[in-house]
Amino acid sequence: MIPQEIIRQKRNGGTLSEEDIQSFIAALASGQLSEGQIGAFAMAVWFKGMSREEVVALTLAMARSGETLSWTDIDRPIADKHSTGGVGDNVSLMLAPIAAACGLAVPMISGRGLGHTGGTLDKLESIPGYTITPDAAVFRKVVKDVGCAIIGQTGALAPADGKLYAIRDVTATVDSIPLITASILSKKLAAGLQTLVLDVKVGTGAFMAEPKDAEMLARSLVDVANSAGVRTSALITDMNQPLADAAGNAVEIRNCLDFLAGRKKNTRLEAAVLAFAAEMLMESGVASSVQDGETRAADAVSSGRAAECFARMVRLLGGPSDLLEEPDKYLVHAPVTKAVLATQSGWLSGCDVREIGMIVVDLGGGRRHPEDRIDHRVGVSDILPLGTHVEQGDPIALVHAANEDAADASVAALAANYRIGERQPVIPDVVCERIVAIASN
């Protein structure tokens, strides 16, 4: 295998063979390629694209570049969900224990925050003692005993993806749909899944702001995953407002506990969680329809079984055994809280969700650089949903900050971010579209 010839072929718009792709990724994983060669390959793919067959081959080669997990000793369907990232998107925290309570096994390997979007691992690190990188034996035991475990990716799973992504990040090739597809799915295939549900966000708080781009990414992910042997569907969901009424780390863990206690009924968050639970249960053959799946998921919450699964997962991964009963004992509070007040009377009609995410980052709840430390205390809570009527001076959100100056700056930015109109806006459903494999349509 001559790397430059593979790069040249793709640069000229040619189609790479499965053997070429496997050889290139094997050389990448073993350190035989230079950063220049990896960057040139990524740029060639960015400009010339890849066929579905090429993306399948790339995904499988990256998935097989390290260890792969097997769950043959677990007598449950092996399922997972992945989100392309949003603001106030803590669905995974509730979804994994709900799915486990309904009979699935969910070995969920999650990530940290990226840009303006929050990361599931950063949220879980708000819980004292919670181990996001347990050894393989502990991970397997928790999945087997509880039905779910949410942890971080180890370097042993799909290592080629980590090396390729690091180069993409500094060569302006992150937003290539073939490379995004292979990056997401290689980790999921390495995790030994049987079924997968994807949450592809669209809107001002999403990486894919335009519906056509979100649909293109969702279609690529679904088609490639199914071609690679994992039964997969996707829901395109609205990210034109924060999904939960909280954005941050500890504040989103509190939001999760409230949800599992049944205190977030009739919200957009509940609609999203139940929709994804139903999709997971249908894909795994446990539920016969969306309605059946949503009913099963809602019962898992109302009965307390989902909360019990979450509590056991936290305890077995090193967290406190009484987190659900005593959250204030463990979840840190910010020193300063200040309300964001409506600047006029009317209907909350719009906001820039990416800007809300960046406000959380500015507070210290996210990273501008990989080495930045997270302040788990800070964030925004009690966010009113769009379509709410407010009077001038009513609170529309609550800022949690490390100091007075940071609180004042964030309050001013959030107040300016929200648009308040005279007419009640039409708010789209949280689930915009369902994407399934072409062969199953």
Give the max Cα distance, the chain: 68
At 138, phi and psi to the nearest 5? -65, -45
Catalytic residue list contains 345: no
The active-site residue, picked from 76, 116, 163, 187, is 187
Report the distance separating Cα 72 and Cα 51, nearest Å: 33
The active-site residue, picked from 10, 64, 163, 168, is 168
pLDDT tens profile 107-122: 998 876 566 766 888 8
The active-site residue, picked from 83, 84, 173, 349, is 83
Catalytic residue list contains 183: yes
Q: What local confidence, expressed as pLDDT, does residue 118 receive?
A: 66
The active-site residue, picked from 81, 312, 354, 377, is 81
Q: What local confidence, expressed as pLDDT, does residue 157 receive?
A: 84
Catalytic residue list contains 163: no
Whether the predicted model's global pTM rises above the 0.95 cut: no
Containing 29, the helix (H) or strand (E) segment is: helix 18-29
> Contact, 397 vs 414, CB < 8 A?
yes
Q: What local confidence, expressed as pLDDT, does residue 441 receive?
A: 42
Query: Which residues, including other chains, have CB under 8 Å from residue 265's CB and lie 6 or more apart?
Result: none
- Give the CA distances from residue 6 to residues 30, 76, 78, 125, 322, in Å, rounded to whole numbers and listed in that order: 17, 42, 36, 42, 56
Written as six digits, the tokens of 331 are 């979840």
Question: Quick one: how many helices (H) and strands (E) in the chain?
Answer: 17, 13
Catalytic residue list contains 20: no
Q: Identify the CA nearest to 82 among candidates 228, 191, 164.
A: 191
Written as six digits, the tokens of 351 are 């906001």
Q: What local confidence, expressed as pLDDT, does residue 170 receive?
A: 80
Report the distance separating Cα 68 and Cα 56, nearest Å: 17
Catalytic residue list contains 17: no
The two beta strands, 346-350 and 419-421, are antiparallel
The two beta strands, 231-238 and 195-202, are parallel
Q: What local confidence, expressed as pLDDT, does residue 34 receive?
A: 94
The active-site residue, picked from 140, 188, 264, 377, is 188
- Give the CA distances from residue 412 to residues 138, 342, 398, 408, in Å, rounded to whole numbers and listed in that order: 46, 11, 12, 6
What are the b/e assignments for 103-132, b being 16+ CB within 10 Å?
bbbbbbbbbbbeebbbbbbbbbbbbeebbb
The active-site residue, picked from 65, 110, 181, 183, is 183
Partners of 101 in the β-ladder = none
Tokens 């500890």 found at: 250
The active-site residue, picked from 59, 64, 65, 80, is 80
The active-site residue, picked from 76, 82, 140, 377, is 82
At 151, phi and psi to the nearest 5? -135, 180
Q: What local confidence, expressed as pLDDT, does residue 336 receive?
A: 98
Report the distance separating Cα 43 and Cα 55, nearest Å: 15
**What long-range pairs does 5-13 form, CB within 8 A, spacing at least 24?**
6/41, 7/37, 7/40, 7/41, 7/44, 10/41, 10/44, 10/45, 10/48, 11/40, 11/44, 11/47, 11/48, 12/48, 13/48
**Residues of the chain falling short of pLDDT 70:** 112-115, 117-118, 369-370, 439-441
Taking residue 7's Cβ as centre, other Cβ atoms within 10 Å add up to 23
Catalytic residue list contains 34: no
Taking residue 264's Cβ as centre, other Cβ atoms within 10 Å add up to 19
Catalytic residue list contains 80: yes
Report the distance separating Cα 258 and Cα 393, nearest Å: 27
Q: Mapping DSSP to helix (H, G, I), strand (E, B) and coil, where does residue 80 land?
A: strand
Q: At residue 349, what is the residue type?
A: S
Handedness of CA 308, 311, 313, 315 (dihedral sign): negative
Q: What local confidence, expressed as pLDDT, does residue 109 receive?
A: 87
- Give the CA distances from residue 347 to residues 81, 111, 244, 382, 384, in Å, rounded to whole numbers and listed in that order: 34, 36, 19, 17, 11
> Contact, 53 vs 185, CB < 8 A?
no
> Contact, 92 vs 81, CB < 8 A?
yes
**Domains in the chain: ranges and CATH:** 3-49 (1.20.970.10), 79-326 (3.40.1030.10), 332-421 (3.90.1170.30)
> Contact, 185 vs 177, CB < 8 A?
no
Report the distance separating Cα 291 and Cα 280, nearest Å: 13
Q: Mapping DSSP to helix (H, G, I), strand (E, B) and coil, where does residue 440 land?
A: helix
Catalytic residue list contains 199: no
Catalytic residue list contains 187: yes
Q: Mapping DSSP to helix (H, G, I), strand (E, B) and coil, where does residue 272 land?
A: helix
The active-site residue, picked from 120, 131, 232, 410, is 120
CA 289 to chain CA mean position, Å: 24
